[in-house]
């Protein structure tokens, strides 16, 4: 679709008297130089900073005409001027059409996340319902991720709770198996799902293939929007069974009809006339915005989700909505119809791009009347309420951070708080964990785990583990800071200003406050690490539970200061407890995952040349890894797939003395 990357200009060699605080003239010079070889074709352009960071990704029908606007800064808003001042080079990718440019732009924005673009945040995958097609007895299950398995997929659903609710009801109406293929093959008697009438029991022959296939067809029809036909068919079967005095069979059909009615009775809003559509509405307030997306499939409401995109205060609702749609459908199949609360400037182009992606017509429009307009108003009302809640939470978070700054004598509200904890069992599977919090709450994409690698640490030495974790973390930050300062010094000449180090620290994700889950001993260990590495300017504290580990009696330790005990009902104490508990939760979860992974491994995994197939053959023959360890050479040679040489290798591994 797109031609190969075609760099238009390399980073400029700036004069030695240029300062790191870039000027408009420097950025304009880079853009003018790029325009000398800029093509007049459709494509995507990238604006790059001095260190190669992508500042902005844009698309254009005519690249040269679009980029020329940046070379004439008059009339541009402050955010764009700041972006131009930081630009040092440009790159472009030409495409055949503007539609291809729009699709490529959305993909690059999601992948590169340039800070001057409107960014879709919290873009998690959506769950689907799948009726599998690779087994003679199809399975009804929840699916998330790549659609690698053969089958029919229905969705998306807004959340796991939405899909679980629908699955729960479907199993009552269409008792298809939900178990995995391996469990299905191993069953010898009906499971609990059969006992509560949520599975027809195909694993033990309680239903024939034709009847099961009929259930599969009914479930497929219902999920495809033909619910009236399915209900009418079940109603006829119930009446026929009743007429034949087969009242137990009639009761089964009655219960299935009730389950289907239950689905349709809990939609919240009437969407019978909307077969397949997404409703997308935006509300903006206080320089922030919320976008609500409602999913309607098969005439049913399959849930909604709120998004809070990152953008500048000068952006308008139609600009934010247009950028959101491109990124939102970059990795999702668009529906046949998208109902909008605003009309994006390039709505026709977006519709054409989504149609190309879906390989069928996709319609975007802003309804002005009727039921579709009511759906949009409902979504917009939800967006307004969600944004109000978020703004209230942000204000509360801001007050808490200001109180934390006062408690720890910080220069201002902390933008980044890092909390550290360790987890192990008698020194085994030891890990360190770091969680991050800031003005927007927990930043889970910034969480980090540290496998304790130092073999000199005595098992169970919490102080030693804390030293290793903090040393590795801040040694990496110092290295990143040194690299950033070196790049700035090379570009701007000798004598960087004092502010340069601060810029490098922000780029290197330096924390304003480090909070340790522990007492005075852990605090002393971390202070030693900071002293060895030369770390300064980072506030440090430790929080320990009180006597008998009672919550509410925590003691806070600070370097060279008396310990602090906050009132049990203090909001700041609650906040610090939440931080500490989150670090503990993350550390425990990471430790358990590592321990489970180790326990899943057997001694056979350590033998070179023993892959999954040979391992399975050995375990099937001997019954356990322990039996393999004690087996004789002749016994090993008798296993299918194990040659004499491999048997000798296995035997030598477990009997090195021989």
CATH number at residue 506: 3.30.420.340
**Same structural domain for residues 261 and 282?**
no
**Measured between alpha carbons, how far is residue 247 from residues 125, 199, 236 in Å?**
45, 20, 14
Is pLDDT of 292 > 90? yes
Q: Please report which residue ranges of 192-226 form alpha helices under DSSP H.
A: 192-195, 209-223
Please give the biggest Cα pair distance in the chain. Answer: 98
Is pLDDT of 15 > 50? no
pLDDT digit string (tens) for 70-80? 988 777 888 88
- 413 domain residue, yes or no: no
Is residue 60 within 8 Å of 54, Cβ to Cβ? no
Degrees to nearest 5, angle at CA 299 with 298 and 304: 90
Confidence of residue 258 (pLDDT cuts 50, 70, 90): confident
Task: Name which residue leads in pLDDT, 614 or 507.
Answer: 614
Q: Which residues of 221-245 are buried (b: 16+ CB within 10 A; e: fewer)?
A: bbbeebbeebbebbeebbeebeeee
In the prediction, which pLDDT does 500 show?
41
| Number of domains present in the structure of the chain | 5
In the prediction, which pLDDT does 380 show?
92
**Residues in CB range of 483: below 8 A, 6 or more apart:** none
**Same structural domain for residues 72 and 158?**
no
- 295 domain residue, yes or no: yes
**Same structural domain for residues 96 and 204?**
no
In the prediction, which pLDDT does 22 show?
47
**Measured between alpha carbons, how far is residue 373 from residues 162, 274, 299, 338 in Å?**
24, 12, 16, 12
Confidence of residue 57 (pLDDT cuts 50, 70, 90): very high
Q: Which among 201, 231, 265 is the end of a domain?
A: 265
Is residue 28 within 8 Å of 36, Cβ to Cβ? no
**Same structural domain for residues 446 and 573?**
yes
Mean pLDDT of 504-513: 66
**Same structural domain for residues 260 and 286?**
no
- 415 domain residue, yes or no: no
- Using a pLDDT cut of 70, give the percent of the chain over it: 87
Mean pLDDT of 78-93: 91
Q: Fill in the DSSP letter of residue 360.
A: S
- 181 domain residue, yes or no: yes
Which among 353, 367, 361 has a CA at the least distance from the CA of 281?
Answer: 367
**Residues in CB range of 596: below 8 A, 6 or more apart:** none
Highest mean pLDDT range out of 16-30, 55-69, 227-241, 644-658?
55-69
With tokens 């409602």, the residue in question is 294
Mean pLDDT of 281-302: 87
- State the Cα–Cα distance between residues 396 and 574, nearest whole angstrom: 13
CATH number at residue 633: 1.10.150.20
- 270 domain residue, yes or no: no
In the prediction, which pLDDT does 426 show?
64
pLDDT digit string (tens) for 540-576? 999 988 766 566 678 899 998 888 888 888 889 989 9
Q: Which among 236, 265, 294 is the end of a domain?
A: 265
**Same structural domain for residues 157 and 259?**
yes
- Range(s) of the domain holding residue 556: 425-591
Is pLDDT of 11 > 50? no
Confidence of residue 483 (pLDDT cuts 50, 70, 90): confident
**Summary count for the chain: helices (H), strands (E):** 21, 19
Task: Name which residue leads in pLDDT, 549 or 59.
Answer: 59
Q: How many Å is the Cα radius of gyration of the chain? A: 31
**Same structural domain for residues 430 and 579?**
yes
Is residue 432 within 8 Å of 449, Cβ to Cβ? yes
- State the Cα–Cα distance between residues 228 and 260, nearest whole angstrom: 10
Mean per-residue pLDDT of the chain:
82
Mean pLDDT of 236-242: 83
- Could you tell me the two tokens for 631? 């087996």
DSSP per-residue letters across 375-443: HHHHHHHHHHHHHHHHHHHHHHHHHHHHHHHHHTT-SS--S-EEEEEEEEETTEEEEEEEEEEETTEE-
**Same structural domain for residues 460 and 561?**
yes
- State the Cα–Cα distance between residues 191 and 21, nearest whole angstrom: 69
Neighbours of 124 (CB within 10 A): 8
In the prediction, which pLDDT does 164 show?
82
In the prediction, which pLDDT does 451 show?
86
Q: Extract long-range pairs of 11-16: CB within 8 Å, 24+ residues apart.
A: 11/48, 11/50, 11/52, 11/88, 11/89, 12/88, 12/89, 14/88, 14/491, 14/492, 16/492, 16/493
Residue 229, H or E segment: helix 227-243
DSSP per-residue letters across 328-350: HTSSS---SEEEESS--TTHHHH
Task: Name which residue leads in pLDDT, 519 or 480.
Answer: 519
Mean pLDDT of 237-245: 83
Is residue 161 within 8 Å of 127, Cβ to Cβ? no
Is pLDDT of 637 > 90? no
Is pLDDT of 227 > 80? no
- State the Cα–Cα distance between residues 279 and 367, nearest whole angstrom: 11
Residue 585, H or E segment: helix 571-600
- 355 domain residue, yes or no: yes
Mean pLDDT of 316-327: 91
CATH number at residue 22: 3.40.1440.10
**Same structural domain for residues 214 and 154?**
yes
**Same structural domain for residues 429 and 550?**
yes
In the prediction, which pLDDT does 653 show?
83
Mean pLDDT of 184-197: 85
Is pLDDT of 182 > 60? yes
The answer to whether the bond into 130 is cis (omega within 30° of 0) is no
Confidence of residue 242 (pLDDT cuts 50, 70, 90): confident
In the prediction, which pLDDT does 331 show?
81
**Same structural domain for residues 559 and 618?**
no
**Same structural domain for residues 251 and 139?**
yes
Confidence of residue 264 (pLDDT cuts 50, 70, 90): low
- 406 domain residue, yes or no: no
Q: What is the dihedral of CA 80, 86, 91, 94, to 10 degrees?
A: 0
Q: Which among 368, 390, 412 is the end of a domain?
A: 390
In the prediction, which pLDDT does 6 show?
39
pLDDT digit string (tens) for 382-440? 999 989 888 877 888 888 999 999 999 888 889 899 999 988 776 677 888 999 998 88
- State the Cα–Cα distance between residues 516 and 526, nearest whole angstrom: 9
- 21 domain residue, yes or no: yes
- State the Cα–Cα distance between residues 556 and 562, nearest whole angstrom: 9
Confidence of residue 619 (pLDDT cuts 50, 70, 90): confident
């Amino acid at each position: 679709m797109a031609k190969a990357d075609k760099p238009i200009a390399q980073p400029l060699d700036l004069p030695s008297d240029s300062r790191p605080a870039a000027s408009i003239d420097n950025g304009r010079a880079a853009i003018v130089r790029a325009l000398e070889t800029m093509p007049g074709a459709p494509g995507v352009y990238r604006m790059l900073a001095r260190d190669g960071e992508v500042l902005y990704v844009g698309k254009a029908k005519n690249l040269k005409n679009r980029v020329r606007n940046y070379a004439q800064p008059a009339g541009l808003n402050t955010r764009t001027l700041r972006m131009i001042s930081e630009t040092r080079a440009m790159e472009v990718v030409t495409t055949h059409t503007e539609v291809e440019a729009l699709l490529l732009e959305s993909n690059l924005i999601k992948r590169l996340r340039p800070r001057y673009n409107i960014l879709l945040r919290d873009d998690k995958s959506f769950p689907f319902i799948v009726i599998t097609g690779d087994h003679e007895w199809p399975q009804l299950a929840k699916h998330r991720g790549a659609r690698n398995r053969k089958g029919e997929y229905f969705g998306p659903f807004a959340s796991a709770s939405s899909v679980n609710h629908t699955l729960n009801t479907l199993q009552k109406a269409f008792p298809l198996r939900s178990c995995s293929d391996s469990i299905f093959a191993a069953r010898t008697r009906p499971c609990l799902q059969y006992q509560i009438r949520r599975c027809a029991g195909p694993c033990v022959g309680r239903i024939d293939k034709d009847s099961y296939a009929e259930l599969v067809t009914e479930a497929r029809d219902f999920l495809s929007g033909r619910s009236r036909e399915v209900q009418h068919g079940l109603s006829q079967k119930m009446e026929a069974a009743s007429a034949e005095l087969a009242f137990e069979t009639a009761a089964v059909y009655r219960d299935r009809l009730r389950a289907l009615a239950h689905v349709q009775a809990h939609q919240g809003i009437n969407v019978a006339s909307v077969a397949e559509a997404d409703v997308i509405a935006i509300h903006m307030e206080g320089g922030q915005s919320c976008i609500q997306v409602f999913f309607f499939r098969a005439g049913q409401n399959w849930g909604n989700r709120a998004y809070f995109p990152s953008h500048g205060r000068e952006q308008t609702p139609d600009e934010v909505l247009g950028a959101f749609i491109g990124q939102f459908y970059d990795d999702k199949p668009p529906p046949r119809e998208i109902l909008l609360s605003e009309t994006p400037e390039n709505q026709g182009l977006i519709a054409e791009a989504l149609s190309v992606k879906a390989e069928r017509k996709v319609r975007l429009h802003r309804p002005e009347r009727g039921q579709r307009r009511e759906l949009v108003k409902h979504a917009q009302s939800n967006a307004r309420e969600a944004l109000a809640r978020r703004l209230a939470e942000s204000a509360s978070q801001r007050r808490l951070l200001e109180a934390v700054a006062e408690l720890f004598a910080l220069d201002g509200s902390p933008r980044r708080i890092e909390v550290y904890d360790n987890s192990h069992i008698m020194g085994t599977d030891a890990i360190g964990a770091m969680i991050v919090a800031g003005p927007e709450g927990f930043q889970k994409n910034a969480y980090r785990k540290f496998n304790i690698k130092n073999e000199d640490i005595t098992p169970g030495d919490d102080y030693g583990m804390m030293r290793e974790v903090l040393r590795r973390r801040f040694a990496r930050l110092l290295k990143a800071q040194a690299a950033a300062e070196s790049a700035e010094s090379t570009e701007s000449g000798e004598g960087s200003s004092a502010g340069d180090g601060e810029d490098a620290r922000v780029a290197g994700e330096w924390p304003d406050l480090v909070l340790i889950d522990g007492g005075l001993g852990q605090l002393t260990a971390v202070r030693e690490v900071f002293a060895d590495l030369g770390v300064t300017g980072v506030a440090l504290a430790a929080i320990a539970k009180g006597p008998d580990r009672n919550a509410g009696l925590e003691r806070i330790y600070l370097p060279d200061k008396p310990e602090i005990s906050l009132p049990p009902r203090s909001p700041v104490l609650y906040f610090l407890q939440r931080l500490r508990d989150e670090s503990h939760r993350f550390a425990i979860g990471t430790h358990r995952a590592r321990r489970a992974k180790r326990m899943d491994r057997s001694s056979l995994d350590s033998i070179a040349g023993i892959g999954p197939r040979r391992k399975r053959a050995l375990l099937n023959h001997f019954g356990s890894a322990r039996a393999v360890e004690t087996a004789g050479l002749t016994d090993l040679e008798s296993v299918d797939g194990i040659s004499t040489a491999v048997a000798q290798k296995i035997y030598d591994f477990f009997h090195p003395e021989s």
